[in-house]
Amino acid sequence: MNRRLKEAFPHVYCELDFTTPLELTVATILSAQCTDVRVNQVTPALFARYRDARDYAEADRTELEEYIRTTGFYRNKANSLIGLGQALLERYDGEVPDKLKDLVTLPGIGRKTANVVLGNAFGVPGITVDTHFGRLVRRWQWTEETDPVKVEHAVGALIERKEWTDLSHRVIFHGRRVCHARKPACGVCVLAKDCPSYGTGPTDKVAAAKLVKGPETEHLLELAGM
């Protein structure tokens, strides 16, 4: 199944826009309960205004909240960003650390966010267990676990470590584009032959094709013989 995912999504990437580890950390914090598309609409102005850890640490809370309001839960997120800036200045000379044990001690950063930052900003392999990832690996019966940390460890035992980051992207891409929560596009899924949950969604190719989303739609439908 991993091989077929590579064929479906040969070029994977983080869908959050960033140029530095700090920008990715901030964007990932903002992405909680928010789409990457929305975050990417907010961050250009945010990153132009807040360029380093000190800018966040010394931010005017009301002003910062206005920049991030449309991402939802903006008061909590503003608290996290200000706390993040302060913690980075106090403990890491203003730089985002590149170790999991350090990242998870920072405000607003749990294990999922830490793995996103490690894998995409520092090249350290990590498995990102979001709602899409958890849903799909359970549909595929890779694990029955529901706790994200247990899911991470279970899948990590199945897949070679160097592939963890790209696997995370591919599974999440597949969940966003094909294997939707309520109505997966089973009829045009590249994993149909191997998937124990085949038939959860429409198996008719024409009906299933209408459910596929995203920039890879044409490529995915070609693989399905459409």
- Model confidence at 226, pLDDT cuts 50, 70, 90, reads confident
Encoding tokens for residue 170? Answer: 């591919």
Residues annotated catalytic, as ranges:
112, 130
* Domain coordinates in residue numbering, the chain: 21-122, 128-224
What does each C-alpha distance from 82 to 32, 61, 85, 139, 189 come to in angstroms? 16, 8, 5, 39, 43
Residue 184 phi, psi dihedral angles, 5° rounding: -70, 150
pLDDT per residue as tens digits for the range 130-188: 999 999 999 999 999 999 999 999 999 999 999 999 999 999 999 999 999 999 999 99
pTM of the complete model: 0.92
CATH number corresponding to 21-122: 1.10.340.30
For the 128-224 domain, the top CATH level (class) is mainly alpha
User: Do 21-122 and 128-224 fold alike per CATH?
Assistant: no
